[in-house]
Amino acid sequence: MPPTVKVMRRPEGARTSYLRATLKGMALTFKHLVNPNKVTLQYPEEQPVLSPRWRGTHRMEVHADGRPKCVACGLCPTVCPSNCIRLVGGEDDQGNRFPIVYEIDEFRCIFCGMCQEVCPVEAIHVGVHFENAEYTRDRFVYDLDRLMEQEHPTALLWDPSDPRSE
């Protein structure tokens, strides 16, 4: 079938009014010019309101004595779809497992939040946080100490019984 061209008829000459349309437009732009309600967020001074379910860079929860809550079960590196978590687990004298190495490559991470979802002891969390700028690339691999230092709030998980967080 040959391509067909749809011809759009413009309004007839007598029905168009450039002048009136322009004056209307000028009035509209003037209204916006003097309108004090701007949509711009003055960012460093004003912070955006993030959703409680916002999934940002991770943080590791710690016990009162400063140890990480992680028990090195290995579920998070297993579930991680982008394979960005490196975990080497160890065991102390009482048989408690703990992470020797726990690194998250935030460049590889897709912030799906499945690590938080899968964690049996609620140790690893994604955070409500977005200011992650660094001067070098290697600073984006967060090690265990760095993860434990983070102080931003942690993300709420989606609750199937309350799907709209009401």
Partner 1 sequence: MNEQTLFLIEKSIIVLTVFFSVMLVVAITTLVERRVAGFIQDRYGPNRVGPFGILQPAADGLKNFLKEETMPAAAAQPYFWLGPVISLAPALVTFAVVPFAAPLPIGDHVVPMIVADVPIGILYILALSSLGVYGVVLGGWASNNKFSFLGALRASAQMVSYEVALGLAVVVVLMMAGNVTLTEMVWQQQQLNFWFAFPISLAFILFVISAFAETGRMPFDMPEAESELVGGFHTEYSGMKYAMYPMGEYSHMITSSALMATLFFGGWDIPFWTGDDAFLFQGEWIRGFAEGGAPIAAELAWWKTLFTFAAFAAKTYFFVIFYIWVRWTVPRFRYDQVMQLGWKVMLPVALAYVMVVAATILALDQLEVSYGFWFGLVLTAVSGICTVLFLWVLDRGRTISGAASQAHERFQSDGKALSAPAGD
Alpha-carbon separation of residue 21 from 15, 27, 32, 33, 126 (angstroms) = 12, 10, 17, 18, 52
Quote the CA–CA distance of 145 and 155 in Å, as a whole number.
Answer: 20
Count of residues engaged in binding partner 1, rule: CB under 8 A: 30
Interacting stretch for partner 1, rule CB under 8 A, among 12-20, 71-79, 87-95, 136-144? 12-20
DSSP 33-61: HH--------TTTSPP---TT---SEEE-
Q: Which is nearer to partner 1, 46 or 92 (CB)?
A: 46
Which parts of 41-80 interact with partner 1 (CB under 8 A)? 42
Of 5 and 133, the one with the shorter C-beta distance to partner 1 is 5
Closest separation between CB of residue 48 and partner 1, Å?
A: 16
User: Which of 128, 124, 121, 119 is closest to 156 using CA atoms?
Assistant: 128
Query: Tokens for 3?
Result: 């391509």
Q: Which is nearer to partner 1, 41 or 101 (CB)?
A: 41
Q: Residues 22, 47, 83, 96: which binds partner 1 (CB under 8 A)?
A: 22
Single residue of 1, 2, 11, 95 touching partner 1 by CB under 8 A:
11
Length reported for the chain = 166
| Shortest distance in whole angstroms from residue 133 CB to partner 1 | 17
Q: Which of 1, 19, 49, 64 binds partner 1 (CB under 8 A)?
A: 19
* Tokens describing residue 67: 């140890």
Q: Does 81 sit near partner 1 (CB under 8 A)?
A: no
